[in-house]
């Protein structure tokens, strides 16, 4: 497994001043010599703008970005996968329910999504 630099990436989010959800990805290196200068890594696929989503980095060198709240106030069931080695996004399998504000973990080669808020159609989410 190749080693990747120590980097924190912020995916999506919410801009309080414009009251809009964000689709961009900002990264910051934890390397002391980088002086914490952030850089833009791109946007989520299809310009999707999300907040309250969850992400995790798996041992296979991918970042999984799952669920979230959209700009139109609906909840997403999308899964976006970022391949670190190629710097490319792909679209993964959809959740069986639209969700946000949930817990996420990986055990073996399976990703588990636990609790949060959700609904079948993405409208009027309720606590799960």
pLDDT single digits (tens) 32-70: 666 666 666 667 777 777 777 777 767 677 888 898 888
CB atoms within 10 A of CB 89: 19
List, for residues 5-34, the tens digit of each pLDDT value.
Answer: 677 777 777 788 988 887 777 777 776 666
pTM (two decimals): 0.76
Task: Report the alpha-carbon distance of residue 40 to residue 34 in Å, rounded.
Answer: 15
**Cβ-proximal residues to 59 (8 Å cutoff; 6+ apart), any chain:** 1
Domains for the chain: give ranges and CATH numbers. 7-127 (2.120.10.80)
């Amino acid at each position: 497994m190749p080693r990747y630099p120590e980097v924190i990436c912020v995916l999506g989010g919410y801009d309080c001043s414009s009251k809009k959800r964000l689709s961009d990805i900002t990264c910051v290196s934890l390397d002391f010599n980088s002086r914490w200068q952030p850089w833009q890594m791109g946007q989520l696929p299809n310009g999707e703008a999300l907040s309250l989503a969850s992400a995790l980095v798996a041992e296979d060198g991918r970042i999984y970005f799952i669920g979230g709240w959209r700009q139109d106030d609906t909840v997403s069931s999308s899964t976006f996968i970022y391949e670190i080695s190629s710097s490319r996004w792909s679209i993964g399998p959809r959740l069986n329910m639209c969700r946000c504000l949930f817990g996420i973990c990986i055990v073996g080669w399976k990703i588990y999504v636990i609790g949060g808020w959700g609904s079948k159609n993405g409208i009027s989410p309720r606590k799960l």
